[in-house]
Amino acid sequence: MDNASKAIILAGGILIGVLIISISMYALATFQSFYESNSEALKAKRIAEFNSYFESIPGTKEEDKFYTKGYEVYSAYNKCQEILGDLDSEFTVNCVLNDTNFDGNIKKYFYFTEKLEEDYEYTYTYNGEGVISSIRFTPKEG
């Protein structure tokens, strides 16, 4: 009789242990999925914040083409340089003017103020994550 009661106590202890392990595993899986979904939402927010600066460049839209003034191109270039100089920046963007990467000579290009008032067409290129990776500016034709 003494052995039987010890066996029941031992079995009960094992059941309680299995129950505790099961609850722990369930809680871990729940917290992990919460963390992953929260992490994805946070990354989507950072992408939206990054893209919003360039997507909000003031300008006009004509027949599915976007146009802005030269001084906005100059501001976008400065923002690109700021992002490239920030070693902690998660994203980078390439600014292109007249099919040439800006190489620091933008001040020479916009030296004559009439170029600041000219219209430029601009387009974005997005990478696979939906982040703007390139902005291309070309002088408006006509």
Rounded-to-integer distance, Cα 41 and Cα 34, Å: 11
Kindly state the average pLDDT of the residues 26-39.
81
Mean pLDDT score of the chain: 81
Read off the pLDDT band of 15 (50, 70, 90): very high
DSSP code string of 69-122: EHHHHHHHHHHHHHHHH-TT-S---EEEETTEE--S-HHHHT-STHHHHSEEEE
Kindly state the average pLDDT of the residues 1-28.
87
Model confidence at 55: pLDDT above 80: yes
> Among 129, 110, 141, 135, which residue's Cα sits nearest to residue 48?
129
More confident residue, 7 or 86: 7
Rounded-to-integer distance, Cα 37 and Cα 32, Å: 9
What confidence tens digit (pLDDT) does each residue in 108-137 have? 666 666 777 888 888 888 888 888 888 888
Q: How high is the pLDDT of residue 105?
A: 63
Read off the pLDDT band of 21 (50, 70, 90): very high
Q: How high is the pLDDT of residue 113?
A: 67
> Among 110, 112, 83, which residue's Cα sits nearest to residue 95?
83
- The amino acid present at 138, given as its one-letter code, is T
What confidence tens digit (pLDDT) does each residue in 59-115 have? 887 777 888 888 888 888 888 878 877 766 778 787 887 766 665 566 666 666 677
- The amino acid present at 45, given as its one-letter code, is K
Q: How high is the pLDDT of residue 120?
A: 87
